[in-house]
Structure 1
């Protein structure tokens, strides 16, 4: 693996079930994540994904690529366009740093939907046996 290597794309269908399930799993009971009428009353066209769901999906993308022995060290993300039901978020990533001594690998990760970038950020993993 080398700096500049591209990760494979991962398309995640954004469903109401995913949004609501992730909100409940993270104990986020704000109505904008499970009640369409409540979300609309606050100016949103529909329910939308919370940041903890996004963070989990970023971690999944990175560790799916890194393999079963990959360990997440750091996830730093910034949210952009909301993820609404019926859309698809497509992840792309790139290796931005490889530390051969420690096995640490840094990735730039972006998740885009039909409205634009939902999430951008970086992930640091430790991968046993990583080589530049």
Structure 2
């Protein structure tokens, strides 16, 4: 059980900014995310294979990025938020030794369904790693 509070829909407003989430990108994070999602593509765990592909190091897979985007929104919304949709577009790769910082803002709010849309960006030293929108339903 968690002691984390879930936000009520009434506590939110369009234009509200979510607290930043800073994530150190490590070999362990990239490897662990790939293993957890059963993504055994060599570019996510084998430096030599990644370099053969033209990459300077292993790189994060989209499923790990998606999980981190969900974590970002859930840390703000709380554990009782219901995720309805996550739409992400990948940009610059996440390599070990870098840092990704998520920022976000509530851009839509529907009273009838208690649904919020959060626009987010996950940025690293090369630019936007991920951009997108997350749709969540909050309790009354």
Q: TM-score range by the shorter chain?
A: over 0.9
Deviations 1:29-62 (CA, angstroms, capped at 9, x unpaired): 1110000111011110000000000011111111
Task: Give unmatched runs, 5+ long, in structure 2.
Answer: 1-11
* Alpha-carbon distance, 1:102 to partner: 1.3
Using structure 1 for the length normalisation, give the TM-score: 0.96
8 Å Cα contact 1:71-1:126 kept in structure 2: yes
> Over aligned residues, Cα RMSD in angstroms?
0.6
Say if 2:53 is the partner of 1:42. yes
Say if 2:48 is the partner of 1:25. no
* Alpha-carbon distance, 1:100 to partner: 1.7
Aligned to 2:23: 12
CA distance in 2: counterparts of 1:2 and 1:56, whole angstroms: 24
Say if 2:82 is the partner of 1:71. yes
CA distance in 1: counterparts of 2:43 and 2:70, whole angstroms: 23
8 Å Cα contact 1:63-1:71 kept in structure 2: no
One of 100, 105, 112 as aligned partner of 1:89: 100
Using structure 2 for the length normalisation, give the TM-score: 0.90
Task: Give unmatched runs, 5+ long, in structure 1.
Answer: none
* Alpha-carbon distance, 1:65 to partner: 0.8
